[in-house]
Structure 1
Amino acid sequence: MIKRYSSPKFEKIPLKRRLKRLNQAFEEISEDVEIRRDNLLAISKDMISLSRWLTWEVQKPSTERKSATGLRYASKMYAAFLKLAEHPEQDFTFKIFDLPAVTWSGLGMLEDGRAHPSQWLDAYFLAVITRDSESMDSLSSFPVEIMKQSATKAGPVSYKLVEVFQAFHHRQDNYPSLLNECMKMAVDQGDDWALGIAMGYLETFAALTTDIGFDFNETLAKNVQLQEKYWINASGPDTVPVESFLPLQLLGMACMWRDMGNAVTVESDSLPRFLIEGTYF
């Protein structure tokens, strides 16, 4: 069992209080999804945060179901939001599960910086976790060149990561060379994010998809711990490292490993077993 390094001070801010707004957002999804286009993104982020904080709750079936349901909504909304950015001039109507149908265009999204690689990475692996193949297929075809037109810019490693995962999704012949190229780029970039986060994704994905010689479970366990340390350092002494509570990309890779018929032997509160098993999907 991998113990978490972080330990939120619930005696200062109780978990119930931290969950209050997020639980309210969960209850109000039907109303909020109709209000404005950008709520597709806002709701998705709230549902991810809800699931992250719920990892500190006693894992009862009701808790698991709420977490899984929130992520399921978020997966569809995230993919819909990025589809709007891909076709900004076009109106799209989305009917997401039991929610009201909504129609929007993507006008102004690129100018507002709404197509960032980090959003794509969250959206794609959220779809992996929830076994949402429709959203995975849509995101896998999102042009990286459109991301580069977004007002919010990222480093070259971020865009290359998207290319790597898209290449694997489409089983492109150049996937191994892209993987190696991205690893080299991360080393050359050399900052904490490139070495702690990007390289962790790449190492774990290499263990998942190639015969490079990495043991998947060992690599997963190592990078869950390294990435938690990264977020603790990046968050600073007075900020809770919420991103580490549910590492979407590493969790998604654990789901892929399991769905390929392999055993995920890593035990961690950051890798909920019900999500790895796809219990509610």
Structure 2
Amino acid sequence: MMKVERAYKPEFEKYVPLEEWLETPREAREEMAECIVLRRDNLLLFSEEMLDLARWLTWETQTADIEKESATGLKYASKMYAAFFECAREPRKTSTFNIYDLPEVSWNGLGLLESGRIYPGQWFDAYFLAAITRDKPSMDTLATFPVEIMRQSATTAGPVSYKLVEVFQAYHHRTSNFPTLLNECMAMAMKQGNDWALDIAMGYLETFAALTTNAGFDFNEVLAKNLQRQEQYQIRESGPDHVPIDSFIPLQLLGMACMWHDRGNEVSVESDSLPRFLIDGRYF
């Protein structure tokens, strides 16, 4: 086993106690059924709150109750993320969603692109969250979401981001051009050369290549390296006055670890950022 310690350690005793960080997402979970019917954007709001809940819960003692609380929140988040993207597919169309025990809701996607709510970074989170929660229907709908629609969003991204979506979608559909797209995206990331391209995009691509190809990468070694590299990136980006919360559970790397596990392989990287119960799919 390779143990990867987290570099960032919240000073709960000195600053904000863990219970206070958990308070808002736990309140959101209690209000979900009441508020999901009020406005469409709550699909995204609650998804993000449930991600925050799961990320802060990694600092709790990992009891069965804590694990179940985290997994349950992520299950709702996966469905809501996918629903939010589905609204944007045909903005004028009204779609109806039945998400577990929540009230049925019907929304269109008018204004989503103009307000910049749909972009590759959101898609990465949505797709790999669906992989973590073994939510194949959501993975399938996200895998068919047109990249061209993302390009119309007011929130723009660099060419590497859109190419990354194409890479993941090509693999999902097992298209013959997947290796070509993977190599093209790696070359684009190297050429772009900034911290995001080298630490985040290349981290996704290297780990995904180890997962999906016979290129000679050791999956666990690549996973451990990029887990540390991406945490350092998040710490730098957050700065000294903000918490690098995305590093507490890096959805894309965790999603790939889940995919590796589900193929019958051993995930030998041990880290609080990669909760074992999520890798094992214990509550899914």
TM-score range, shorter chain: over 0.9
Displacement of 1:112 in angstroms is 0.8
The CA distance in 2 between the partners of 1:80 and 1:26, in whole Å, is 18
Query: Which amino acid in the other structure matches residue 26 of structure 2?
Result: N
- Residue 26 of structure 1: how far off its partner (Å): 1.2
The CA distance in 2 between the partners of 1:241 and 1:115, in whole Å, is 22
Contact 1:251 1:276 in 2 (8 A): yes
Say yes or no: does 1:6 pair with 2:32: no
After superposition, residues 217-236 of structure 1 pair within 5 angstroms as 217-236=220-239
Task: Report the residue type matching 2:7 in the other structure.
Answer: Y
RMSD of Structure 2 on Structure 1 (CA): 0.5
1:84-130: CA deviation from partner (whole Å, max 9, x where unpaired): 00110100110100000001100111111121100000000000000
| Greater displacement, 18-27 / 123-132 | 18-27
Secondary structure at the aligned position of 1:28 is classed as helix
1:187 is the counterpart of 2:185: no
d(CA) in 1 for partners of 2:268 and 2:21?
31
Assess if the C-alpha contact under 8 Å between 1:85 and 1:114 holds in 2: no
- Tell me, yes or no, if the aligned pair for 1:50 and 1:67 is still in contact at 8 Å: yes
1:132 aligned partner, one-letter code: D
Which of 217, 227, 251 is equivalent to 1:248? Answer: 251
> Counterpart in 1 of 2:199?
196
Output one character per residue of 1:163-219: Cα deviation in whole Å (capped at 9) or x when no partner. 000000000000000000000000011110000000000000000000111100000
Instruction: Give the alignment partner of residue 132 of structure 1, picking from 128, 132, 135.
Output: 135
Match of 2:70, SS state, is: helix
- Aligned equivalents of 1:83 and 1:239: distance in 2? 32
Which residue type is aligned with residue 224 of structure 1? Answer: L
What does the per-residue CA deviation read over 1:222-257, in whole Å, with 9 as the maximum and x for residues that have no partner?
000000000001111111110100000000000000
State the distance in 1 between where 2:108 and 2:242 align: 36
Alpha-carbon contact 1:51-1:70 (below 8 Å) kept? yes
After TM superposition, give the deviation of residue 264 of structure 1 in Å: 0.4
Q: Which amino acid aligns with 2:143?
A: S
Q: 2:36 aligns with which of 14, 33, 49?
A: 33
1:1-281 → structure 2 map (5 Å cutoff):
1-11=3-13, 12-281=15-284
Quote the offset at 1:9 in angstroms.
1.3
Please give the secondary structure, in 1, of the residue aligned with 2:217. Answer: coil
Deviation digits for residues 13-71 of structure 1, max 9, x if unmatched?
A: 10001111111111111112111000000000000011000000000011000100000
Could you tell me the TM-score, scaled by structure 2's length?
0.98
How far apart, in 2, do the equivalents of 1:266 and 1:81 lie? 33
Q: In 2, are the aligned partners of 1:196 and 1:227 still within 8 Å (CA)?
A: yes
Whole-angstrom distance in 1 between the partners of 2:73 and 2:117: 22
- Which of structure 1's runs of 4+ aligned residues deviate more than 4 A? none
SS in structure 2 at match of 1:34: coil
Paired residue total: 281
- The amino acid across from 1:31 in the alignment is E
CA contact (8 A) 1:117 1:162 kept: yes
CA distance in 2, matches of 1:110, 1:246: 27
Separation of aligned partners in 1, 2:255 and 2:79: 16
AA in 2 matched with 1:72: K
CA contact under 8 A between 1:79 and 1:135: conserved in structure 2? Answer: yes
